[in-house]
Chains A and B, each alone.
Chain A
Amino acid sequence: MSILVDKNTCLIVQGITGKAGSFHAAQMRSYGTRIAAGVTPGRGGEKWEGIPVFNTVAEAKAKTQANASCIFVPAAFGADAVREAVQAKIPLVIVITEGIPALDMVKIKRGLSPRQTVIIGPNGPGIITPGQCKIGIMPGYIHKPGPVGVVSRSGTLTYEAVWQLTGLGLGQSTCLGIGGDSIPGTGFVEILKMFQADPRTKAIVLIGEIGGTAEEEAADFIRAHVTKPVVAFVAGATAPPEKRMGHAGAVIAQGQGTHASKIKALKTAGVTVAPNPAQIGSTLAKLLRRAPS
């Protein structure tokens, strides 16, 4: 078990003939991910490294076993690519593209039935169930199969945390980034729900950052519904207000989204907060030694 993806996941890559799409399609395939099809409008009928390319997602889905899609198209076409995958009723859509306007995501989500399609991202590293399936841009070799679920708003900070876990012998059930935008397709709460329900996940690492209220909402949910041990880290203690720190969503605006507010909410909910980004793994290791499950 794991969440959202496993060895049965069968992928469409939207933008497979582009620079990023083709590079990462090759990386995903060499990790063992099953790639059924690529989609590039106007390139239907071609093959990419032996994989059939279609003009539309609907066609790719009809002619293959695909049950997930990964989007690598440029920002200006990102929202349309997500809409196309949603309309084709792809159950899981992972959006790597950075720079999709926030209002477009609001509109897409308002027309979405979450039972039909789960969107992960945009502006995230993707999702990996170690040893089974990697969808996205993370370096595969830093992961190893195991009991820790990792969810994050960041890319490289997630790699950092995973690397620490793997170094301590703590493997991962599934790791994913919900993305750095202000309107993510799926939030912390939905992912925590899935980790809580997944029998293979024994502990959870949550990595947040300044901006918005996602960590506060996650804390409320953890207090009420999560029985598994949770370690959190929130980046941005030193970030000045009203400045966007790289990610579209990482900005303390109108006094909301401060580091202090998030840490307080998480601690109040009983979450163990890692004091230092270099100690995310060791904080969890210590917690698990203290409370064997």
Chain B
Amino acid sequence: MKLLEYQAKKIFAQWGIPVPSGAPIFRSSQLTGAIQKAGGFPVVLKAQVYAGGRGKAGGIVKVRDLREARLAAGRLLGKRLVTRQTGPRGAPVKALLAEESLTVLKEMYVSVLLDRSRQMPVVVASSEGGVAIEELAKEKPEAILTTPFDPVSGLGLPRARRIAERLKIPRKARKEAVQQLLKLAQGFLKLDASLVEVNPWALTREKGLAALDGKLTLDDSGLFRHPELAPFKTADADSPSEAKSREIGINYVGLNGQVGCMVNGAGLAMATMDLIKLHGGEPANFLDVGGGADVNQVREAFKLILADSNVKSVLVNIFGGIMKCDVIAQGIVQAARAIKLKVPLVIRLEGTNVKLGREILRGSKLGFVTATDLNEAAKLAVKAAKK
């Protein structure tokens, strides 16, 4: 689960990391109140989206009076922001963050993340902040300091001190920097995070060392231990369909193509998307119905796929293990009857109870296209989408 900047900063503040004063805005009527909380003009308005690259895309604006603030808010709030990370459709801006504008003396970078190849949490730090870390890693890898630490004993004072020294943080702020590093590492472990990023981590005239921007990604598997994060939970879906898929209990990611997919298992679902592309089509979505889906979930999954008006055909690819083919077949037949399918449906079933499943499909007389082999199924689905 990803948090928006204003949510991450709320949590950073709870950890004792200074952040600029401010407040989020969800409707334009909240603008003046938020500007007051930010301490009056000048104020920085920041579009709250999950993608980076907001500054260059015009998603971060410094405003000097109410007229400018209204203009900027009107341009951003409720619109879509296209950054280098969002793709051409952009990301919906459902909130702005109004913040005081601080005087920056030095910009640095710090993050805590789970390093998958080391299989350890690490602190990544650099004395060069404000730029994307991926770019810095490419251009100046020597400017990045990576410090692994044990998740049981934590980062510890000696390691935190060494990071602060290597970043050449001015002496006056060094003690504070060490404390903030320890708090970030501790917070990372406490919340079962997979990424805590502060960029820039800046020395400011007004607030000393502060988090000017923040990213927080939590391990979905750890959320059961953190009921206090529930209010942030459904907010991070990019689309209503993704939010809906969570309610149903399936995995769905919307894409831009024409061939809808319903598959069991994440690996097979990705492979099915790849195969559609290989045959000249574009997948409309990733959808994993999971190992134990029931008739209801299958029906709801269909509704989700078909709610996307770009979908011109649907490919169902099920390899039954835990998931029995007859259950899938029943779900498909029920869904097709309930929804009145307007697009061709290509179905490939294999695995447990496959004969029973195929009989149910045939017996329904709903005119499904069936395929026994994966390649053939993908070809048929792509062809059907192009008609």
Q: Which of A60-104 contact B (CB under 8 A)?
A: 75-76, 99-103
B14 interfacial by beta-carbon distance below 8 Å: no
Q: Which residues from A are CB-within-8-Å of B50?
A: 242
User: Are B267 and A207 interface neighbours, CB within 8 A?
Assistant: yes
User: Are B267 and A156 interface neighbours, CB within 8 A?
Assistant: yes
A147 interfacial by beta-carbon distance below 8 Å: no
- Interface 9-residue window, one of A2-10, A28-36, A195-203, A246-254: A246-254
Q: Which residues from A are CB-within-8-Å of B117?
A: 212-213, 217
Partner-B contacts on A (CB < 8 A):
20, 24, 75-76, 99-103, 106-107, 109-110, 125, 137-139, 142, 152-160, 163, 180-183, 207, 209-214, 217, 233, 235-250, 253-255, 275-279
User: Are A240 and B114 interface neighbours, CB within 8 A?
Assistant: no
* Chain B interface size, under 10 / 10 to 19 / 20 to 34 / 35 or more: 35 or more
A139 to B134, CA, bound (A): 42
A246 to B269, CA, bound (A): 9
User: Are A139 and B321 interface neighbours, CB within 8 A?
Assistant: yes
Which 10 pairs, one residue from A and one from B, show the smallest C-beta to C-beta distance?
A: A154-B267, A246-B266, A156-B265, A157-B267, A277-B271, A278-B375, A101-B222, A235-B270, A156-B268, A246-B288
Q: Which residues from B are CB-within-8-Å of A152?
A: 267
Considering only CB atoms, which chain B residue lies closest to A246 in the complex? Answer: B266
Q: Which residues from A are CB-within-8-Å of B300?
A: none
Interface SS of B by simple majority:
mixed
Q: Which of B124-160 contact A (CB under 8 A)?
A: 133-134, 137, 150-152
User: Are A110 and B321 interface neighbours, CB within 8 A?
Assistant: no
A25 to B262, CA, bound (A): 29
B204 interfacial by beta-carbon distance below 8 Å: no
Considering only CB atoms, which chain A residue lies closest to B86 in the complex? Answer: A242
Q: Which residues from B are CB-within-8-Å of A125?
A: 321
Say yes or no: A240-B255 contact (C-beta < 8 A), given A139-B320, A276-B375. Answer: yes
User: Are B350 and A180 interface neighbours, CB within 8 A?
Assistant: no
Q: Which residues from A are CB-within-8-Å of B373?
A: 278
User: Are A277 and B275 interface neighbours, CB within 8 A?
Assistant: yes
Q: Which residues from A are CB-within-8-Å of B265?
A: 154-157, 246
A239 to B256, CA, bound (A): 11
Partner-A contacts on B (CB < 8 A):
50-51, 85, 87, 113-114, 116-117, 119-121, 133-134, 137, 150-152, 189, 192, 194-195, 219-222, 224-225, 251, 253, 255, 263-278, 282-283, 286, 288, 291-292, 319-322, 350-352, 373-375, 378
Say yes or no: A137-B322 contact (C-beta < 8 A), given A110-B152, A246-B286, A254-B134. Answer: yes
User: Are A155 and B291 interface neighbours, CB within 8 A?
Assistant: yes
Q: Which residues from A are CB-within-8-Å of B150?
A: 110
A158 to B113, CA, bound (A): 30
The one of B137, B219, B267, B320 that contacts A180, using a Cβ cutoff of 8 Å: B267
Q: Which of A99, A214, A277 has the most CB of B within 10 A?
A: A277
A4 to chain B, nearest CB (A): 20
B373 to chain A, nearest CB (A): 7
